[in-house]
Structure 1
């Protein structure tokens, strides 16, 4: 299918800027792409993208010039030309967003995209998805895409739809009539993008993904914040962790395929299969057969169907101890069943509880990344220092790359300035 022609109703603008926060996956380890439940919030740290028309055309034919003090180097993109970026390069996320918008909405005006960020890279807080979303939203506003008929019909003002589309940009799938492309190489879902776009300050959002739905927002205690320990073990999903990350996703797809073959059903997700009948879990376990797949299904059922609602229920009734107990169970199963933990994240989760955190767990894709701890606001800075000191003592090789930051359940992605018409 050829790219659509440019919409003549687009509004030309002189500047467009979006701030897109990282997200904290409190519960829902590897559940979203299986249609399951998650409990997430936006973080205080964010990626900000500023898009302007490109007027200094140093290289003929450049369609996008991207630069940032937060990332290495700059990026000059020419339409329909592979920039030859290595796996893990930040420019691959920008390139993916730019190419997908062009394919779905028509050629974009030549633009300069400038990034700033206080969001740790490859930390599990989904800096990659924030970069994709910030790039796409800033470029879309610069081109006036949100004023066009295609955006109105396929995305409108529905942020859940925006999140699903941005996830499809990243994973390469088709969203409604907006045809997919290669993506960045990961087979993830839309949890990250949903947390970034649909969060409320001071609350955790429970969302499901078959179909995409907002179930509820539950309040965190006002006097508690998150401390995030960044392990220093890279969780870059387009780099070394790609195969491990995708292995968990493929296991879900294989389990669903065996279920549908055994039952004659056509369920779209593992969540739909699990919820299809009271005895569906037992029948699913029998259908998948393979022990590794059974283990993957077991983790999904407990994390999505038990831990997420139990944690949200605990917060709704003000039971912080119950919330903490669920977090300990979730961490244990990530270690024992999901297999996406490394010694560093295991140690961080355990030491957070030893230091008095009300709750703690690793989060994100895993195979590195970060651990969250919920602690009293008044103690957060001291806790962060003590937590990091213990970690770097036990893992001295990580001292140069590890860090600890204080954050909270914060506001969703937002335009930094209003679009200005020429």
Structure 2
């Protein structure tokens, strides 16, 4: 793969790449829609991801090319940039803009080539992968001196302010700090985290792409963020709390009467209970209690369906099938929802049987097939050896 990318880079830019980098995608094992509420999440990096090859040029232009999209970006060197339309290269352009805002001045032009094997719009964080990858690569190549946490915060700021999606920090954090065969238990308020062994024993993590794409900035994601902020404001009439996940279910029940809007109450109830589930899930993984972990996955999905209302018929069809398939012990949507992916704890040796019967059931209910694949839990963003032909 790297040699093929080198050939494309050479053909397109008429020079060899000077450096090569990789950033993974991520799945969130449990703890959904609570990252922007200061809660605990349990993501892991996966072995699918995004590659970046780069080299300076002498033409005073920043050039973006992706092997996944037709659109190419060409920008003259300037002190700042603004988002232009909905093209993919706004993500790395936003990173460059933010780095320049921190005092970096690009003295020469720059050629960048991206390739990713994360399904676009699937909920596996292809956009955050590009952001963290670009920030890490430029920081490393130009020796800018930012640590990894600074790059995570910078990438989140790009997502929020340059792109316009009010997401939390989980995606960028998992992509930067992920470790092979480990899950991260991340406190999204303090950014403190623990590493949890993710030994799945006789099970594997199956990823099921519903093949229903969604654009977060065009979805109801921002609406859910606003509803949670409304719930928090109502609770603050009576108690001193900075985010919803400072409350456990018991304390929330004492004050939930302050939330008059029934829909907003449902959203807040999910947030508080989901945060509690992450605590329980970490204990289950540490104890090797995979069936309990699977039960919590199902409970998480049910809450996202009934209280947070972000699943939809496609994701529900996948999880409903898993509940009735004897060799799956847990399943849930992962990511923001509104389409995208689900994950399942599937017994080893049943991959083909699972794919066959899930496909039949899904096509009957939805009308087109889902994509089913397995990725190992992998490392976070890193530099790779420069490929040589």
Give the 3 Å change call, closer, same or farther, for CA 300–412 of structure 1 in structure 2: same
Query: How is 1:2-41 mapped onto 2 (pairs within 5 angstroms)?
Result: 15-41=18-44
Give the 3 Å change call, closer, same or farther, for CA 414–384 of structure 1 in structure 2: farther
Is contact 1:206-1:217 (8 Å) kept? yes
- Residue 386 of structure 1: how far off its partner (Å): 3.3
Query: How is 1:320-399 mapped onto 2 (pairs within 5 angstroms)?
Result: 320-355=290-325, 356-396=327-367, 398-399=368-369
Aligned to 2:46: 43
* Aligned match for 2:245, one of 262, 271, 274: 271
**Cα distance in 2, alignment partners of residues 120 and 381 from structure 1:** 21
- Residue 81 of structure 1: how far off its partner (Å): 5.2
Gaps spanning 5+ residues in structure 2: where?
1-16
Give the 3 Å change call, closer, same or farther, for CA 16–390 of structure 1 in structure 2: same
TM-score by length of 1: 0.81
Aligned to 1:280: 251
Give the 3 Å change call, closer, same or farther, for CA 223–214 of structure 1 in structure 2: same
Is contact 2:50-2:115 (8 Å) kept? yes
- Residue 341 of structure 1: how far off its partner (Å): 0.9
Aligned to 1:174: none
TM-score by length of 2: 0.88
Task: Report Cα offsets for 1:11-52 as digits up to 9, x if no partner.
Answer: xxx733321111011111101111101111111101111221
**Cα distance in 1, alignment partners of residues 198 and 112 from structure 2:** 36
| 3-state SS in 2 of match to 1:378 | coil
| 3-state SS in 1 of match to 2:338 | coil
- Residues 1:317 and 2:282 are matched in the alignment: no
Is contact 1:46-1:130 (8 Å) kept? yes
- Residues 1:260 and 2:264 are matched in the alignment: no
- Residue 381 of structure 1: how far off its partner (Å): 4.1
Give the 3 Å change call, closer, same or farther, for CA 25–136 of structure 1 in structure 2: same
Task: Report Cα offsets for 1:363-415 as digits up to 9, x if no partner.
Answer: 1011111111111333334423432343223222x34xx41111122222211
Aligned to 2:70: 72
**Cα distance in 2, alignment partners of residues 98 and 286 from structure 1:** 46
Query: How is 1:149-160 mapped onto 2 (pairs within 5 angstroms)?
Result: 151=146, 156=147, 159-160=148-149
- Residue 140 of structure 1: how far off its partner (Å): 2.3
**Cα distance in 2, alignment partners of residues 85 and 70 from structure 1:** 18
CA RMSD in angstroms comes to 2.3
Aligned to 1:186: 165
**Cα distance in 1, alignment partners of residues 310 and 294 from structure 2:** 21
| 3-state SS in 2 of match to 1:105 | coil
Aligned to 1:250: 226
Is contact 1:227-1:384 (8 Å) kept? no
Is contact 1:248-1:296 (8 Å) kept? yes
| 3-state SS in 2 of match to 1:332 | helix
Task: Report Cα offsets for 1:38-92 as digits up to 9, x if no partner.
Answer: 111111101111221023x3xxx53x21101122221112334546323xx3122
- Residue 134 of structure 1: how far off its partner (Å): 1.2
- Residue 160 of structure 1: how far off its partner (Å): 4.2
Is contact 2:23-2:380 (8 Å) kept? yes
Gaps spanning 5+ residues in structure 1: where?
1-13, 172-181
Q: Which sits farther off after the overlay, 363-372 or 75-84?
A: 75-84
